[in-house]
Each structure stands twice: as structure tokens, then as C-alpha cells.
Chains A and B, each alone.
Chain A
Amino acid sequence: MIDTLIGSYNYWIVIFLMMTGFYIVISRGNLIKKVIGLNIFQTSVFLLYVSIGKIRGGTAPIMSDDFTLYSNPLPGVLILTAIVVGVATTAVALALVVRIREAYETIEEDEIYGQDSA
């Protein structure tokens, strides 16, 4: 029991980060904080993918007689793509925040919606 708890510590980190990021996105009204929360949320998934590919003692997949145990490189490659997607999402989000600030003079969610309903 203890072994599985400690042995899979990487997954606990993933879950902790995921919930932290998700909570920030839901609970904060500040748009920049929302973007940061979204980033933490996405990063947790990157860690999940990296964990999947890792084998203890495994090396990179190089053809050589010295190594017999390899880690799976595919999840790492996939997550490079996902990181690019994450960067693009953050860029679009920040650009939107800049334009919201120009149009509303604030980046607090309740003040933005307050201005439009008034």
C-alpha cells in the first residue's frame, strides 16, 4: 500500500498540479491569473505524458550493444507538440487580455461584465 503510494509519486504530483491549475481557473476573477492557472493545468498533463514513457534505468533509444533497456520516446515527442499548442494558447490568451484591457480599462472579470450590463 505504502509502496504504491510512494512508488507512483510522479502521478501524485500530476494530480496535485492539475487540481491546483483547475482551481485557479475556476476561482480567480483576474484574467492573468486565469491564464496562469490554465498553464499549470496544461503543464500537469505534460508531466503525465513524460511519466508514461519513462522506464527506470532505461536509456534513450540508441542502437548499441551496451544497452538493452529503452524508454519510450514517443510520449516525449507527442508532448513537444502539446507544449507548442500550449504556448500558442497562452499567446492568444494574453493578446486577448491586452485587448480587453484596452477596451475596458480592467482585467477583473466581474468589472468587465458589470460594465456591459450597466
Chain B
Amino acid sequence: MIGQHLPVLQIIVPLIAAPLCILLHRRSPVIGFTILVCWLTFGASLMLLERVLAEGSIVYEMGGWAAPWGIEYRVDALSAFVLVFVSAIGAIVMTYAPRSLVSEIPEARHYLFCSVYLLCLTGLLGIAITGDLFNLFVFLEISALSSYVLIAMGGDRRSLPAAFQYLVMGTIGATFILIGIGLMYMTTGTLNMADMAARLPTSGVRTVLVAFGFLTVGISLKMALFPLHVWLPNAYAYAPSVVTAFLAATATKVSVYIFLRFVFSVFGSEFVFGARALDAILMPLSIAGIFVASTVAIFQTDIKRMLAYSSVAQIGYMTLGISFASVTGLTAGIVHLFNHALMKGGLFMAMGCIMFSLHSVQLEDMRGLGRRMPLTMMAWVIGGLGLIGVPLTVGFVSKWYLIEAALERDWWWVAALLLASSLLALAYVWRVVETAYFREPLDHDGEVREAPLSMLVPTWILIGATIVFGVMTTRSAGVARLAAEVLLGGAP
């Protein structure tokens, strides 16, 4: 019987667990409880994915009220895919968190951290599962508000202005989305995505055009599409390591999911790419983002900041894939959501290990670290190879699909630019490799030791996954292709 209610359990369990964390209050039970909840959520999303792959989309009516009057949860291949990787990252990062938290957040606040972490997870999962536009806005704000709090939790005072800047830009983005939803409600009188897609007048209604404009800008702010990315580098660089690993792997990806939903399930690709030619804007911005952000990354001395700029570039790859508006391009974009979540999650977790042992993430301090922390640096290097797109890593799979999509359209220059951009990634990854392996270690770091196993094992699970899914691509890319076909095939 419980299987029938899986879609709602997915959201309710972490949502109810969040206030329970505050009631429990004592550190070790709270952390144990949070880890348990995260893994339960992951289990639920895996079961949902299995069911969606076997039986097709699942529709769950909230409280038994049929859509479009009630709120419905709708799980199709894309939703299930996003649910699985967000909850997987949530569970793995939380397993990694206890030791890392001790060194970065005062122990008296750990129960608050767990509570906010679960709320953020709830918001992100809710966005992926809901079929109702206003519900989507509410979940968006739940995840956004809790991520501002998470970022500001660290000891570094620079995280405070970073969180404030993120709050201002995030709220503007969310309010733009709210305006867009309002205007669309004005035209169609419904908030249900599938219902709206059926009723939306496709040609010549100015209200719909304005709504589309507001939504595009609002979502682009949220997913840090170049040049609306300015909030991201500081927020990721100064947040606690655990928070950076979690948000970098999930938050912007879920925003890309919102974009996909609006473009393909509500407006329809015909309207967006045919009539309105969004690809003519999206593609140059994506390519500019890839090049500018990768170049800026090369000149960073704070490695967390460098990886944050690299994230902006990677968002460019995803939107580039979407802008092709073909099944191959969309597959590339969707599979890169997953692949980048694995790589960046793993890399930022490795940075957390370095922060734990070295108390610094500056490039200068990482001299000779390859000998002091061999396992951590090895994980970092494999993650870095993924960013470059070396064969046998997941990064290669994404780039392969992207180049295939570019060649399908005979845009060989896009393919050439993609290859050139990999060289920029090589440059910033190599700087770290050179410093860590080919420079003499600092004298006084005799006590710098390998990070504890409870942090190394989760890091290696993610890094290992980048190899596993880089070699056996049928599973991840197969689901991504299915999701792309569903999206281009029309309603969810």
C-alpha cells in the first residue's frame, strides 16, 4: 500500500524530519537521524525511478483532489532522474558531513544545520516532483531560503555578504518567476502544468510573451547562466565545505530542470525555439559563459572559488545542449546534469577533506599535498579529469553527446569551440596538479595527515561513480535519452 504513496512520502519524510531535528536537539542523535532520513529518501526515489521506467509516468493527486483543481505530483522519466541524483547526493554528502562539520561549524549549531539541510533537500525534491506551477514557486523559495541560511553558517565572515548577495539576486529571480506564473494564470486560468500546456495560446498573445520573458530571466538568475552568475562564486567559495558540496551538485541543476520543464512541458519547444528563437540567445550566452568562466577560473588562487567558476562554465554546457533543441542535444544537457553533479560533488568533498586537514584551500598552501594526502588528491585529480572530459570519465560522455549534437546540425565550429574549451579546463586543473605533485611541500606541515575515512569513503563513492558511469553509459545516458524523448514528444 505504501508504494502507492511514494511520491508524497518522498517530500513529506524530510519535511517532517526537519522540525523533529530541532526537537531532538542533542548532536549525535540528530545527525544519525538526518543521515537515516536522507538514505530513506534516496531509497524512495530509486523505487520511483524503477516504477517510472517499468510503467511510465506516475500521477499522484494530493488529498484525492483531481487536477486541475487539486495539486498533483507528476513523476516522468526526467523528474525521476532528477529526484534520484539529488537525493543520492543529499544522502552521500550527509554521510560525509559529521566530521567536516565539527571543524567548520560550532557543535551547538549542528542540530540547526541538520534541520535546514533537510528543508533544503525537501525544496529541491519538491521542485522536481510537482506538477503545479505555484507549488513549484513555493518549493523554490523553501530551497532558496534554506540555502541562504546554510551558506551563512560557516565561520568565515565573507560568507555573510555572499549569502546576502545571493538572497537579493535569488529573491529577484524568484519574484520574476512569480510574475511570469501570474501572467500565465491570467491568460489560461489554470496552474497545472499539463492543463496549461493544453490551453496556452501559442501565437500572438503579448501576455504570454511577457510571461515567457520574465520566466526566462528569473530561471536564468537561479541557474547562474552567464552573465547572471555573479552571486555564485562568492557563495560557493565562502560557504562551509559540506554546504558547497551539496549546493554545487544540486541547486543549479534543479534550476536547469525548472527551465526544461517550462520550455518543453509548458510552452512547448515549438513556441520557444521555433517562434521565439530562444536558441539564438541561449547558444551565444552558453558559449560565452563556458569561455569567460573557464578563463577566470584559471586565475583564481582560492581553489573553491576556482571550482565555483568552473561550475558556471559547466552550466554553459548544459544550456548549450538544451539550445540544440534536438534529442541528442537534450540528452547531452540532461546527462550532464547528472555527470556534473557527481564530479562537482566529489571535487568539493575532496576540497572539504583538504580544508579539514590543512585548514586552507589556497593554491599556495597545497604545495606537495599529493604526498601528504595521496587518497584525497587522487580523488581530486580523477574529478578534475572529468571536468576536462578525458575518456573513461563521465565528462567525456557529456562532451561526446554535445559534439554529436553539434555535428548533427553541421555546426562544426561549435564542436571545435567545445574542444577548445576543454583546453581551458585542462589549464585550471593542471595548476592544481602541478602544485600538489611537483612542488616541494611546505616545511611546517609535518602534522598534515590524510582525512578520516568517514570523509574519504563518501568522496570516493562519488568519484568512483564518475568512472563507473563513464564506462557503463547505458544506464545514465539511457534514462537521459528517454527523458529527452518524453520532453520533445510533448506533454509530460
Contact = CB atoms under 8 A, between A and B. Distances in A.
A104 B157 contact: yes
Interface of B: 134, 137-138, 141, 145, 148-149, 152, 157-158, 160-161, 163-164, 167-168, 171-172, 175, 178-179, 182, 185-186
Interface of A: 22, 25, 31, 34, 38, 41-42, 45, 48-49, 52, 75, 78, 81-82, 85, 88-89, 92-93, 96-97, 99-100, 103-104, 109, 112-113, 116
Given A49-B182, A89-B141, A100 B161 contact: yes
A82 B136 CA distance: 12
Contact of B182 (A41, A52, A113, A116): A52
B171 A48 contact: no
B299 to A, nearest CB: 16
A58 B234 CA distance: 50
Q: Would you call the interface of chain B mostly helix, strand, loop, or mixed? A: helix
B167 A92 contact: yes
B158 A116 contact: yes
A78 B141 CA distance: 14
B95 to A, nearest CB: 28
28 contacts: A22-B172, A25-B168, A31-B164, A34-B168, A41-B172, A41-B175, A45-B182, A52-B182, A52-B185, A52-B186, A78-B134, A82-B137, A82-B178, A85-B141, A88-B145, A89-B145, A89-B171, A92-B145, A92-B149, A93-B164, A93-B168, A96-B148, A96-B163, A99-B152, A104-B157, A109-B161, A116-B158, A116-B161
A13 B185 CA distance: 20
Contact of B164 (A42, A49, A97): A97
A85 B137 CA distance: 10
A36 to B, nearest CB: 12
Contacts of A93: 164, 167-168
B168 A45 contact: no
Contacts of B134: 78, 81
Contacts, number: 67
Contacts of B168: 25, 34, 38, 93
- Top 9 nearest A-B pairs (CB, nearest first) are A103-B157, A85-B141, A100-B160, A96-B164, A52-B186, A112-B161, A49-B182, A99-B160, A89-B171
Given A96-B152, A116-B158, 17 more contacts: A25-B172, A38-B168, A38-B171, A42-B175, A45-B178, A75-B182, A81-B138, A82-B137, A89-B141, A92-B148, A96-B148, A96-B167, A97-B164, A100-B160, A103-B157, A104-B160, A113-B161
Given A78-B134, A81-B134, A45 B164 contact: no
Q: Which of B149, B168, B171, B186 has the most CB of A within 10 A?
A: B171
B119 to A, nearest CB: 11
A52 B181 CA distance: 12
B356 to A, nearest CB: 24
Contacts of A52: 182, 185-186
A103 B138 contact: no
Contacts of A103: 157, 160
Q: Which of B152, B163, B168 has the most CB of A within 10 A?
A: B168
Contacts of A85: 138, 141, 145
Contacts of A38: 168, 171-172
Contacts of A81: 134, 138
A67 B182 CA distance: 27
B148 to A, nearest CB: 6
A75 B185 contact: yes
B171 A100 contact: no
A48 B164 contact: no
B141 to A, nearest CB: 5
B185 to A, nearest CB: 7
A55 B237 CA distance: 50
A118 to B, nearest CB: 13
A37 B182 CA distance: 21
Contacts of A99: 152, 160
